[in-house]
Structure 1
């Protein structure tokens, strides 16, 4: 069991909550902004359209994050879960966009979200495909897949002309050392806010040495209202199929992320919880599409923040959602955060993502040691690392293979699930339905609790 400073339903003091929420925002903002910028760059969209996509992504991610944490009726997992635009949809989005433009991307995202909405009602059955061995593999693969991202950040950003510059590596190392020191020796809020404090110190140092470019801040609008359906929508059948396939893969990845989140927050991840969480992913993606944003999904990197700081309060992350909405309404806020050098993010990110990997390794250590489980772990991790380390491996296969197996997380999860089903002596979660039924009988209706808490 993790030693949490704040449990899921705890409410830290207001100022503390603001600081901790900002910490989650800093961890997620780069990923949220990256997807619309990549899509815009490949499609060669005008600068104003890219800015509109970014603002819509921030706004949509913020609203769905708030709902995921607080819950609205049957929608929302009610755990500290940050939502954001996902790279799982980038391949399909670019393919659709090259032929049908942004309207095609948004229309196919809206239509494809039905796959996730319908799939959410089958999560108790899907949950049974993720016994402890499979879950341990997926959590480990999430950590292994994210660490190269942190390394690219620490080196200055993938594709940057100064990639690997000693200055970048030195900044990342300093931030990493500061975060480690604050977590290990800090007390209370100092330890809990180690990531944001470490990044703030690193950022201040970069500003002092003239390493921060404020051009984007000077060019950004102070305020921008969202425009519903500003790009319009089209619904090409081929694009809907491609996007639906991406949603199916995302269900697998999201399930794994929720499993990691359950481990980090000491929460039994039952089928009912998964249903609410995946339903929010689907409904949230539909909402984001209407607002002009690419589809959203659960962010794995913020699970690392929880593991590192011990802050599992869903109310903290709900405030992160509010901050993301403000960043969408006030583009200058997002522009200011984007000025944080990649190397500063890398120092903190390496620590966050390594914590997810450490959680996966701990889970693997608790797996029963036998030949069958050893095969599942070895083969699934090997296949996941193969496509993560050598994505060109799938280049000459039909596009559908790249959609399904393009992510190391989805590849590792699919291989682990299939091997667990096929090898003799299948491991199952036989008691899951009974646990769900008992929990429903024992727990008061959640929306009522939420209303009472909000009224208080």
Structure 2
């Protein structure tokens, strides 16, 4: 069946409870949307907190940057999940996607903010996003370099590189005074098991809610254990409106250049995420759908600074929710976008979610990211593992995981190369692409002897 709205073909043999075009009832849609928000919340607020520290902001301005990030993430998530605009400038792949600020831009942000302040950061990222916008029109010819052996490797690598993030959450979060404490690990294990059992035994009605229910139970377990600080909720404002150009915007080429590498990395990672989403939603993507997904990143990165947020990128975390909860409805992702917009207007509610103990997220994250890795392995199972393909998969995983485990090895590279290889996902993808080009297919010759 052809999905006319997104231009994608859906696999009717899918075991998904909710497919791309399905519309769950309003309560289910809202609850599943909120589930998407809480699983990505750490990533949504982490970058604005770091940027606020670089800019020397106090509590009030820091809270505003977080609210602005939620607002923009909500707007761009709706655009990416729905897909808008005419064919020649379609923005958004039409797949269930959560968008947010990305760490690829944090490195160059430090030097730009130190030179020109927060206005230079906003102006520089807006100008540099034009590169991604232009590159989105060249995605189609580039896609011939992404055969199944490359895409399967990238999808598997995406899940594997995120495992360390989930483990850090399970241990209590990097820098935590109780990092690795048995109590933290016990909470993560409990949440992990609750999600597994609900997902497997609860049936079609509650299985899609497994992550939300597991996180909620884990959250409540942590309250009497003294792991939740409600003082932050009491200190937060009840209501806050967004403001255009609150901190100004400074357009100078010198501020844009440091961010170009970040956008190249984002393009590579977004292509990988789009392919992952196609795999887990049982959807056959066209090249123009992936291009529209990249374009949504660029448009979001132009919108963000207007409200005081950084550039946006397609989040990979939520792709793990889809195979686990068997929910691929774009309506749910759109609902998540509206929830993020509402949370940006009511800081107390956003804070209530943000104080969720990290081990709770860790227990959920392990399963979600594991599902992404499993989807990549499933994709690779359809690839013929001859010598050439083995080398491509081995090289991509080795370099990608190596950089993920030891990111400091790229610190001595020139700035441009250091930026491209700063992420395990981008590093592994680049290696897979290069090996796919360098290693030519060897034709097997068979000699047929005829009996005389």
Query: SS where residue 313 of structure 2 aligns?
Result: strand
1:13 counterpart residue number: 25
1:321 counterpart residue number: 337
1:24–1:320 Cα contact (<8 Å) kept: yes
CA apart distance, 1:397: 2.1
TM-superposition CA deviations, 1:353-410 (whole Å, max 9, x none): 1100111111222211111111111112111112111111012222222211000000
TM-superposition CA deviations, 1:137-162 (whole Å, max 9, x none): 11011101111111000000011111
1:110–1:290 Cα contact (<8 Å) kept: no
TM-score under structure 1 length normalisation: 0.91
2:426 to 405, 410, 417: 410
CA apart distance, 1:48: 2.1
Structure 1 consecutive aligned stretches of length 4 or more whose deviation exceeds 6 Å? none
1:52 counterpart residue number: 64
1:92–1:239 Cα contact (<8 Å) kept: no
2:155–2:273 Cα contact (<8 Å) kept: yes
1:197 counterpart residue number: 213
1:69–1:317 Cα contact (<8 Å) kept: yes
2:360 to 344, 356, 361: 344
1:439 counterpart residue number: none
Describe the shift of the 1:2–1:160 C-alpha distance in structure 2 as closer, same or farther (beyond 3 A): farther
Please say which of residues 107-116 and 42-51 is displaced more in the overlay.
42-51
CA distance in 2, matches of 1:42, 1:389: 26
2:9 counterpart residue number: none
Query: SS where residue 297 of structure 1 aligns?
Result: strand
CA apart distance, 1:95: 2.4
Describe the shift of the 1:325–1:426 C-alpha distance in structure 2 as closer, same or farther (beyond 3 A): farther
TM-score under structure 2 length normalisation: 0.92
TM-superposition CA deviations, 1:46-85 (whole Å, max 9, x none): 2222212111100000001111112221221111011111
CA apart distance, 1:2: 4.5
Identify unmatched segments of 5+ residues in structure 2.
1-12, 444-452
1:2–1:264 Cα contact (<8 Å) kept: no
CA distance in 2, matches of 1:366, 1:87: 33
1:134 counterpart residue number: 150
Alignment of 1:246-325 (within 5 A): 246-325=262-341
Describe the shift of the 1:404–1:426 C-alpha distance in structure 2 as closer, same or farther (beyond 3 A): farther
Find out whether 1:182 has 2:182 as its counterpart.
Answer: no
Find out whether 1:207 has 2:230 as its counterpart.
Answer: no
CA distance in 2, matches of 1:114, 1:223: 34
Alignment of 1:64-143 (within 5 A): 64-73=76-85, 74-143=90-159
Please say which of residues 314-323 and 125-134 is displaced more in the overlay.
125-134
CA apart distance, 1:279: 1.1
CA distance in 1, matches of 2:402, 2:206: 39
Describe the shift of the 1:162–1:3 C-alpha distance in structure 2 as closer, same or farther (beyond 3 A): same
TM-superposition CA deviations, 1:15-52 (whole Å, max 9, x none): 11111111001111110100111222244322222212
Query: SS where residue 393 of structure 2 aligns?
Result: helix
Matched length:
427
1:139–1:360 Cα contact (<8 Å) kept: yes
CA distance in 1, matches of 2:442, 2:148: 12
1:92–1:403 Cα contact (<8 Å) kept: no
Larger radius of gyration: 2
Please say which of residues 47-56 and 298-307 is displaced more in the overlay.
47-56
Query: SS where residue 84 of structure 1 aligns?
Result: strand
CA apart distance, 1:119: 1.2
2:179 counterpart residue number: 163
CA apart distance, 1:426: 8.9
CA distance in 2, matches of 1:391, 1:377: 20
